[in-house]
Amino acid sequence: MTDTRTETSLQAGLKKSTFQLFLATGAWVGSTALMSFGPSAIWGFDVAVTFLAIAVNLTVGSFMLYSFFKHLKNMDELQRQTHLEAMALTLGITMVLTVIYGALPQAKVLASTQPANVLFVIGISYILSVIALWLWRTSE
C-alpha cells in the first residue's frame, strides 16, 4: 500500500491522462483517415507510401492503447471496476450483435454488411454500459 495520492492529485492525474488519451485518439483518427483516403486523394495508390501510412497508423494505435491503459491505472478503483465491467459487457453485446448482423445478408435482409459498423456497436455499447454501471453504483 504505497498509494499516497490525495484526491486532488488523483483528479489531477486523471485529468492529465484524459488529455493524453484525447490527443492519442485524435492522432489515431487522423492517421486512420490518412491511411483510408490518402491512397486515392494524395499519393495515387503508391503501395510503398500506403505501407508507410499503415505503419504510422499501427504506431499511433499502439500509443493510443498505451494511453488508455495509463488512463485506466490513474482511475479510482470504483471507476476502474466500472470501466472493466463495461468492457466485458461490450465484448458480449458486440459478439451477439455481430453474429446477427453477419447473418442478415444470408437471410436476404441486407444486401451487404460493413465491418466498420461493428465499431459503432462497440462505441455505443461501451458508453451506455459505463453510464448505466456508474449510475447504478453511485446513485444516492
Partner 1 sequence: MKNRLKALRADRDWTQAELADRLHVTRQTINAIEKGKYDPSLPLVFKIAALFGLPIEEIFSPDTD
Instruction: State the residues that interact with partner 1 by CB under 8 A.
Output: 1, 3-7, 10, 76-79, 81, 136-138, 140
Nearest CB to partner 1, comparing residues 117 and 138:
138
CB closer to partner 1 out of 45 and 136: 136
Provide the minimum distance between the beta carbon of 89 and partner 1 in the complex, in angstroms, as a whole number.
16
Query: Taking the complex as a whole, how short is the minimal distance between the CB of residue 92 and partner 1, in angstroms?
Result: 21
* Length, in residues, of the chain: 140
CB burial of residue 48 (10 Å; 0-12, 13-18, 19+): exposed
User: Looking at beta carbons only, is 7 or 108 nearer to partner 1?
Assistant: 7
Q: How far is the CB of 134 from partner 1 (least distance, A)?
A: 8
What 8-state DSSP symbol labels residue 59?
H
Write down the least CB distance from residue 3 to partner 1, Å: 6
Distances (CA, A) of 80 to 22, 28, 39, 43: 18, 23, 40, 43
Picking from 132, 38, 48, 133, the residue whose alpha carbon sits closest to that of residue 82 is: 133
